[in-house]
Structure 1
Amino acid sequence: MNKLAIAAMAASCMAMAAGQAKAADYVVGLSVATLANPFFQGMTQGVKKGIAAHPDLKLINTSANGDANTQTNQVTDLINQHVAALILNPINANSIVPIVKEANKKGIPVFTLDRGAACGSCQVNFLETNNVELGKEGADFIADQLKKRYGSIKGNVIDLEGLLGTTAGDEREKGFSDEFAALQKDNPDLKLIARQAADFDANKGFNITTQLLAAHKDIDAIFNGNDDNAVGAMRAIRQANRFYPIGNPKHIIIIGIDGTEQGLSAIRKGQMDATLSQNPLTMAEQSVAYVEDYLHGKKDLVPAHQYWPHMLLTKANIDSPEAKAYGLWGDEVSQ
């Protein structure tokens, strides 16, 4: 082998080594609340896609399986591995605070995704949907449907709350309950006949709705903290032989939040009236982009708090160009 060939090979090896070093420049630790929920499956896919778009980032991916102590232990382990940044989807806004502050002490920036930590500036960026607005719009949707049915806003409504203690669960409930109370001031025949937490869980939604259907003969609508709650409620309605098609005066109006594949399918089949869809894929990709900016010294490009767009989906618009442009993430994740 001549000297030129040897030099070329050496240069190539150095370039490869540099590329490998670059790929490991920054390790990002991800902790999601659970992968049992399709929304968080979509979020994880979005983070992975975002990481793949930035060759200098590497991902360590963890799921807490719905347990706050597990999440604390996993994030502690990530901190001890000296990750360059953390993307957290907290199970509980308060219980995550000590570990976020521990990351702060070690100089590790924390980015919270969909759910935040109850410590304000301890997180570099909190990227979420406007959950108060989601709850408010859910109440308004139900009011609009009841007015179409009765000519005025009246009827019996159930509130299946989400997982309280999370920013998403608490704020959706605040948005719904505040707006519902405001509607009741001018519409005294609008009644909230039950409010129970189904914890973003389809089985709990099913069990609670089954009990409430047995206790209440007349139910006009159910607001659900997410689509899992809604799926459970729909299953209970069918099992109790209380399902009537949309447009029938006995139909129980169902609205969820998230835009999961099950929710989209139920809307297309006419079993569920609406969902207020988020897009965890694009939201998660943006979170990774903020991590990249921050690590490269572009801190001015990273907002402390940002609301990601959401969209009301019904059978009338679910397959419209506007919905497809927004992104039907539930369809994408199920493929």
Structure 2
Amino acid sequence: MTLRSTRRLLIAAAVMAAAAPSAVWAQNKVNLGVAIPAATHSFTAGIVWWANEAKKELEKAHPDLKITIKTAANAGEQANQLQDLMSATKINALVVFPFESAALTKPVAQVKSKGVYVTVVDRGLTDTSAQDAYVAGDNTAFGKIPAEYLAKALGGKGNIVALRGIATTLDNERMDAFNAVMKNHPDIKLLDAKYGNWNRDDAYKVMQDYLTRFKQIDAVWAADDDMAFGVMKAIDQAKRSDIRIVFGGAGAKGMVKTLIDGKDPRIQADVSYSPKFIYDAIKLTAEARLKGDKLPPTTIVPSVLITKENAQSFYFPDSPF
């Protein structure tokens, strides 16, 4: 071997050695996409706010982390955004809050099939093989706690109407848990349960229909604080005095403040379900992937009963929700 050849080999080896750390660093970079519903009501406004808080704090703390947030007004738009995150943004990790369960299952599965690590939040998919991890509030407790409270408050008898959210796995879990409790109280009749889409205006229309059709309603399970406010508006406009309790859900600051003030006797309790879990999901996913780790298959954030006695602990006036 000539001196010139030897020198070339040494230079090549030096270049490869210098490049090696950069290659390892590149592999550990996390390009995280976040796909969430748009702020169409106060809960999703909270989701968007907490997601942006996570981006701000985590990118500052981790130079090897990039977070891209997409908000969608419907399932079709979110499916298109997932394609964009994969092809244009070239994400290697995804935190997705599905707009709808069934409609987003295949688009999320396609992302995962490309080697992207997927954390699904709150509204689960219809096929769990399309995800690596799932983070959510306790949806069983979210349905069970109101049912138990209403059954006791009504003395085991009366007429109830319910409002459901959007057709998702979590809505099914809540409704199933509510019905399971009510099976033990045969003198309580669930008159109807229609979708209010977790939306104040939609809930107002559903409640107007209930008030027209049912002459005696003792309690309403609105299953969301935004829907509860729509329900209250419909009741007040109809000047109905038969409805003793309206039970919402998720601990919106306006509802918690109503509990604290005690100004409306129909608002007696709530159940916690904070949108902060999107922050937790983004943080857990980002930090795990930066280390090359995985999350547990399921992480559940507890839901608890909120009453006047403990409401102050759930009141966050600076939050949008």
Assess same fold via TM > 0.5.
yes
**Is 1:109 aligned to residue 101 of structure 2?**
no
Q: State the partner residue of 1:84.
A: 92
2:101 aligns to what SS in structure 1? coil
Distance 1:285 1:177 in 2: 31
Alignment of 1:15-164 (within 5 A): 25-51=29-55, 52-53=57-58, 54-56=61-63, 57-65=65-73, 67-80=74-87, 81-147=89-155, 153-164=156-167
Q: TM-score, normalised by structure 1?
A: 0.80
Contact (CA 8 Å) 1:160, 1:195: kept in 2 or not? Answer: yes
Q: State the partner residue of 2:205.
A: 207
Partner of residue 266 from structure 1, selected from 246, 258, 265: 258
**Structure 2 runs not aligned, ≥5 long:** 1-21
Tell me by how many angstroms 1:140 deviates: 0.6
Residue-by-residue CA offset, 1:192-236 (whole Å, 9 max, x unaligned): 222222121211211121222232222110112211221111111
Distance 2:139 2:318 in 1: 23
Q: State the partner residue of 1:279.
A: 274
**Is 1:292 aligned to residue 296 of structure 2?**
no
2:39 aligns to what SS in structure 1? coil
Tell me by how many angstroms 1:32 deviates: 1.0
Distance 1:253 1:224 in 2: 10
Partner of residue 181 from structure 2, selected from 176, 179, 182: 179
CA RMSD of superposed structures (Å):
2.3
Contact (CA 8 Å) 2:222, 2:246: kept in 1 or not? Answer: yes
Larger RCO (CA within 8 A; separation ≥ 6): 2
Q: What is the percentage of aligned positions where both structures have the same residue?
A: 25
1:94 aligns to what SS in structure 2? helix
Residue-by-residue CA offset, 1:292-331 (whole Å, 9 max, x unaligned): 233234525x111111022221223212xxxx2xx435x3
Q: State the partner residue of 1:13.
A: none
Contact (CA 8 Å) 1:234, 1:272: kept in 2 or not? Answer: no
**Structure 1 runs not aligned, ≥5 long:** 1-17, 148-152, 244-249
2:69 aligns to what SS in structure 1? strand
Q: State the partner residue of 1:169.
A: 171
Residue-by-residue CA offset, 1:39-62 (whole Å, 9 max, x unaligned): 222222222223313323222111
Distance 2:287 2:46 in 1: 23
Distance 1:197 1:209 in 2: 11
Contact (CA 8 Å) 1:163, 1:170: kept in 2 or not? Answer: no
Alignment of 1:6-21 (within 5 A): none
Q: 1:88 to 1:304 in 2, by over 3 A?
A: same
Distance 1:314 1:239 in 2: 26
**Is 1:332 aligned to residue 304 of structure 2?**
no
Larger C-alpha radius of gyration, 1 or 2? 2
Contact (CA 8 Å) 2:29, 2:290: kept in 1 or not? Answer: no
**Is 1:315 aligned to residue 304 of structure 2?**
no
Distance 2:41 2:236 in 1: 22
Q: TM-score, normalised by structure 2?
A: 0.83
Alignment of 1:217-256 (within 5 A): 217-243=215-241, 250-256=242-248
Counterpart residue identity of residue 227, structure 2: N
Counterpart residue identity of residue 172, structure 1: R
Residue-by-residue CA offset, 1:70-90 (whole Å, 9 max, x unaligned): 110011100112112111110
Q: State the partner residue of 2:14.
A: none
Residue-by-residue CA offset, 1:14-72 (whole Å, 9 max, x unaligned): xxxx9xx99x943321111231122222222222223313323222111111x111110
Counterpart residue identity of residue 309, structure 1: P
Contact (CA 8 Å) 2:100, 2:166: kept in 1 or not? Answer: no
Contact (CA 8 Å) 1:231, 1:262: kept in 2 or not? Answer: no
2:184 aligns to what SS in structure 1? helix
